[in-house]
């Protein structure tokens, strides 16, 4: 009886630890996805900014050359 109770208590404890580890892993995955999306947005904005600067420079250069 005592051994059975100890086994059940151990199984319960291990299940709780597994559930907690899974919850933490899920949070980490969500955070990773959020960071990746944030990085992609920043790269896109940087690209658009540089492209617009080059486009503006090209237009100004054409006006000067005419």
Q: Report how far residue 51's alpha carbon sits from residue 48's, in angstroms, rounded to the nearest whole number.
A: 5
Mean pLDDT of 41-50: 96
> What pLDDT was estimated at residue 37?
98
Q: Report how far residue 22's alpha carbon sits from residue 4's, in angstroms, rounded to the nearest whole number.
A: 27
pLDDT digits (tens, 9 = 90+) for 15-38: 999 999 999 999 999 999 999 999
Q: Report how far residue 29's alpha carbon sits from residue 27's, in angstroms, rounded to the nearest whole number.
A: 5
Q: Report how far residue 43's alpha carbon sits from residue 37's, in angstroms, rounded to the nearest whole number.
A: 10
The confidence band for 51, taking pLDDT boundaries of 50, 70 and 90, is: very high
- In which residue are the tokens 């420079």 written? 57
């Amino acid at each position: 009886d005592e051994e059975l109770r100890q086994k059940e208590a151990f199984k319960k404890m291990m299940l709780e630890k597994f559930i907690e580890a899974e919850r933490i892993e899920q949070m980490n995955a969500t955070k990773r996805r959020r960071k990746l999306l944030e990085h992609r947005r920043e790269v896109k904005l940087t690209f658009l900014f540089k492209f617009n600067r080059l486009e503006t420079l090209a237009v100004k250069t054409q006006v000067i050359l005419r």
